[in-house]
Amino acid sequence: MSSAIRELAESNLQDEQLEGQYQKGVKHLCESGIAKVPRKYILPLSDRPNSRNGDQHNAENLSTIKLPVIDFAELLGSNRSQVLNYLAKACEDYGFFQLINHSIASEVILSMIDVSRRFFELPFEERAKYMSSNMSSPVRYGTSFNQNKDSVFCWRDFLKLSCNPLSDVLPFWPSSPLDLREAVVNFSKETKFLYLILMEAVLESLGLVETSDQDKNDNDSLKEFEDGSQLMAVNCYPSCPEPDLTLGIPPHSDYGLLTLLLQDEVKGLQIQHEGKWVTVEPIPNSFDVNVGDHLEIFSNGRYKSVLHRVVVNSSKSRISVASLHSLPFNSIVHPSPKLINKGNPRRYKDTDFAAFLEYISSCEPKNKSFLESRKLT
């Protein structure tokens, strides 16, 4: 028997043995000692991270990108107008920026990363307590992107925690590790504060808030955002024996207004910029902030939600924590009337979170397919 045939036979045997195990997650598969990526996780050739179809780069040789950097301290200081211009440019041209000097204590950030890593190191039986197919559950442990619909699974396990209102959802969160709830509460409160300050800046950069209104403390524009939804997505990307065959998360855009992403030191986030995939260089103690579909709709297309994906590697597992923010789940998201005129007609339908859940529950997400379904032709 030739070595190629032998390898194929061994691969088929592995897939047969693992059939039914995929729903338990990538971490569980890795703990079983796999040496090859199971067929369920192998992407079509054109969708792989080293594909020559559109990328023209090997995944490990992709150029890195330095995103626009927003200094939170300067945003709150005398240089605000210049920072707002830079913020607007970042949201228009990149859909992403990196936030530095955000004032969240390093202990809060380190605790969040540490407790996230320790959650995924728990025995599978402990993690499995929180598995649910209910997308509106206050706590949900799962795998892939949409494990109920994905024809090919992605190399990710996740813990998703609803964070609003905290008093209602906290009792449902995992009780192990013992310090998980405290760490996530502290982190969620701090990121919610950052989000509200950033949204105020976004509104001002769009011309929807006057600085004089802020000085008079007479601005009601933020009230509809204060009680908005907040979802914490804690992601684990185990080291992968064949990283060129799969992705941690496939190309997608986020549904909400803004996402604040905390990465560990391992690279993995890539964004599509000027038609190419580029790797985001992490800045220690910073957040990667991106425009979501709802903000593109709200800005009537001025600010862009951008395709991004996650690649994996063969040497290190990776942890990231995404804090996704939008309006309350039952609120209607629509283009701001102040941004609609004869020269810039309305470009999007009204939508809400329920429409998003219905959409992703009924089909396999592809790129920015949900946002495309909201566009007016």
User: pLDDT tens across 75-104, in order?
Assistant: 999 999 999 999 999 999 999 999 999 999
Structural domain boundaries in the chain: 41-374
User: pLDDT tens across 110-124, in order?
Assistant: 999 999 999 999 999
Whether residue 260 contacts residue 289, with contact meaning beta carbons closer than 8 Å, is answered with yes
Helix (H, G, I), strand (E, B) or coil at 97: strand
How high is the pLDDT of residue 363?
59
User: pLDDT tens across 218-237, in order?
Assistant: 456 677 888 899 999 999 99
pLDDT at 54 over 50: no
pLDDT at 8 over 50: no
How high is the pLDDT of residue 354?
77
How high is the pLDDT of residue 240?
96
Specify the CATH number for 41-374; select among 3.30.230.30, 2.60.120.330, 2.60.320.10, 3.40.50.1000: 2.60.120.330
Checking 30-36 for CB contacts under 8 A at 24+ apart, the result is 30/238, 30/239, 31/124, 34/241, 35/241, 36/11, 36/241, 36/242
Report residue 14's pLDDT band, with 50, 70 and 90 as the boundaries: low
User: pLDDT tens across 182-205, in order?
Assistant: 999 999 999 999 999 999 999 999
Taking the mean position of all CA atoms in its chain, how far away is CA 118? 20
Instruction: Provide mean pLDDT across the span 166-177.
Output: 95
pTM for this entry: 0.89
pLDDT at 56 over 50: no
* Residue indicated by tokens 């769009």: 206
